[in-house]
Structure 1
Amino acid sequence: MSDIEIRRATADDIPAIVAMLADDPLGARRESPDDPAPYLAAFERLDRDPQQRLVVAVRNGRTVGTLQLTVIPGLSRRGATRSIVEGVRIHSEERGGGLGTQLIEWAVEESRREGCALVQLTSDATRIDAHRFYERLGFEASHVGFKLPLI
């Protein structure tokens, strides 16, 4: 996978990122690739926040993967800093080739560089294949998550 570059996303990457977010049954119901305005506004907020890393994986000039890493200082665990991985997506033509592993490994190493004591992520209960993927990488299903929609 040496032909993959993982770098910070730019505004030019947003259409490809949104297309990947929308390219599954859950994302197809939640995302609106034809309306870039909310995504560009969100990108501006993320890009200004030093605790956020929205990254893309690029192969031969084409965006083929993405994830968001958030670093959160905290009081629990003796004042430990943790990171949260969100929005992991791999282009459909790239799935199964190790790119997801490479992105998660990048996130874990970046978390270590930031002094994080813990890397967390959530995965929708219906994403059984994703659960097996994360467990294979050493993550443990240790908590029950809850959500309260506000909009």
Structure 2
Amino acid sequence: MPMAESFNKRELQKKREQKKQEKQKRKEERKASGRDSFDDMIAYVDENGVITNTPPDPTNKLEVGIESIAISTPKKEDVEDPVLEGRVDYFNPDKGFGFIKQTDNMNKYFFHISSAPTLIAEGNMVTFELERGPKGMNAVRIAVKK
């Protein structure tokens, strides 16, 4: 014996069918009106960076020489690190580190004994280079000035 459909079930099915038909009708109306087509959504950027809805004119094309295109940044070895001057502001020989105060702008830089000569002491005038360390810029390749 087949189960009879309840009143609610038939009503829900009718509503679903009606929504489906309305959706199909709206879809056909959109197609007929030509709105919301892909061509309406395309935007172009002109040579001045302004967004327009007209495609660019191919006769205004600017030729770019392949030599003028920069592909990469210059290598690090092409740029020399400047040699800076400073004074040893603090040095702890037991722990093997210290700070150098740069003479021209008074910035302080950390240094480790492995980057310094063995006879370095507080108050020495030194030359050094900078290198990025885990906690900021560090003084490296330190030499005591005579």
TM-score range with shorter-chain normalisation? under 0.3
TM-score by length of 1: 0.17
Larger Rg over CA atoms: 2
Q: Which has the higher contact order (CA 8 A, sep 6+)?
A: 1
TM-score by length of 2: 0.18
Relative to its length, the structure with more helix (as a share) is 1
